[in-house]
């Protein structure tokens, strides 16, 4: 089973003596699995991101925060009669609850704790309201309106909330996620869903490395960018993460583009 981005980042931080990370998981079962894999029990706390009070308590005293929260789509078992394709839903929480309210509660908790940096892992695709990811879990109602879904619109709303919060931030929009080893590719930064060179994908472990480096390198604060990679074997493997940021030429993502929920 592939590790999620947040867990890659958490394990990288555990290995760095300059950090004393605490991972927040949703259930005791998740904590037990981490502890069984070798993570110290006192480095994991249980709190549901949709429970504002629990998250505020979990974040008390934190200096910095990496947010890797995302609603996870899954097949509902039903099929769209018009297309023949499976219908997806969000059995563990709709994007509005997880990607907006859950991220908002974490941003608020970090701000209340006096955190000096919040790094948010979001997604590419935010400039296109018609992106297919927004259709996942969306239902059409009899009156012509819709409910549910719109994951990228809710993510974008959380991003803007973080920018406006006054807390120093870094926002990373990875492309399509690959279950392949990190540290073997040239990484590519951009803005606003552009794709000039490289692929529209990136290994999860490489995303996690950039999230960690964003905490370590002050120049990453106040930046919002897309993150992709070249194919393995193309270009030079990225090792200088301060120089990587120079690819942006001072540009950041433009939030006047696209749409928010």
Chain centroid to CA 144: 31
Q: Is 42 helix (H, G, I), strand (E, B) or coil?
A: helix
**Between the CA of residue 152 and those of 159, 201, 242, what are the distances in Å?**
10, 17, 28
Angle between helices 103-113 and 151-165 (to 10 degrees): 10
Q: Which residue has the tokens 């927004």?
A: 134
Q: Given the residues 105, 122, 123, 224, select the one marked as catalytic.
A: 123
- List b or e across 87-126, with b for residues whose CB sees 16 or more CB atoms inside 10 angstroms: bbbbeebbbbebbbbbbbbbbbbbbebebebbbbbbbbbb
Strand, helix or coil at 4?
A: coil
Helix (H, G, I), strand (E, B) or coil at 212: helix
Residue 30 annotated among the catalytic residues of the structure: no
CB 203 within 8 A of CB 178: yes
Supply the DSSP symbol for 85: P
User: Cα–Cα–Cα angle for 234, 200, 90, nearest 5°?
Assistant: 140
Output the six-digit token pair for 148: 């549910």
Q: Phi-psi region for residue 187, left (φ > 0), alpha (ψ -120 to 50) or beta?
A: beta
List the catalytic residues. Answer: 123
């Amino acid at each position: 089973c592939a590790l999620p981005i947040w867990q890659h980042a958490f394990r990288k931080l555990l290995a760095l003596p300059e950090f004393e990370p605490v991972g927040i998981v949703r259930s005791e079962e998740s904590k037990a699995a981490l502890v069984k894999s070798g993570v110290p029990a006192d480095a994991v706390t249980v709190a549901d991101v949709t429970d504002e009070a629990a998250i505020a308590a979990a974040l008390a005293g934190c200096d910095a925060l990496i947010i890797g929260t995302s609603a996870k789509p899954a097949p509902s078992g039903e099929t769209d009669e018009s297309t023949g394709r499976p219908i997806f839903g969000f059995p563990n929480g709709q994007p509005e609850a997880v990607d907006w309210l859950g991220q908002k509660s974490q941003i608020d908790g970090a701000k209340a704790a006096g955190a000096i940096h919040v790094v948010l892992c979001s997604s590419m695709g935010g400039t296109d309201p018609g992106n297919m990811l927004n259709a996942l879990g969306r239902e059409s109602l009899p009156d012509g309106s819709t409910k549910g879904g719109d994951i990228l619109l809710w993510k974008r709303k959380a991003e803007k909330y973080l920018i406006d919060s006054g807390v120093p931030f870094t926002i990373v929009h990875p492309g399509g996620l690959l279950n392949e080893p990190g540290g073997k590719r040239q990484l590519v930064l951009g803005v606003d869903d552009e794709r000039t060179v490289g692929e529209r994908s990136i290994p999860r472990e490489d995303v996690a490395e950039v999230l960690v480096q964003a905490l370590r390198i002050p120049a990453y604060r106040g930046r919002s960018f897309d993150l992709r990679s070249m194919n393995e074997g193309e270009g030079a493997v990225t090792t200088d993460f301060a120089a990587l940021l120079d690819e942006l030429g001072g540009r950041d993502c433009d939030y006047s583009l696209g749409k928010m929920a």
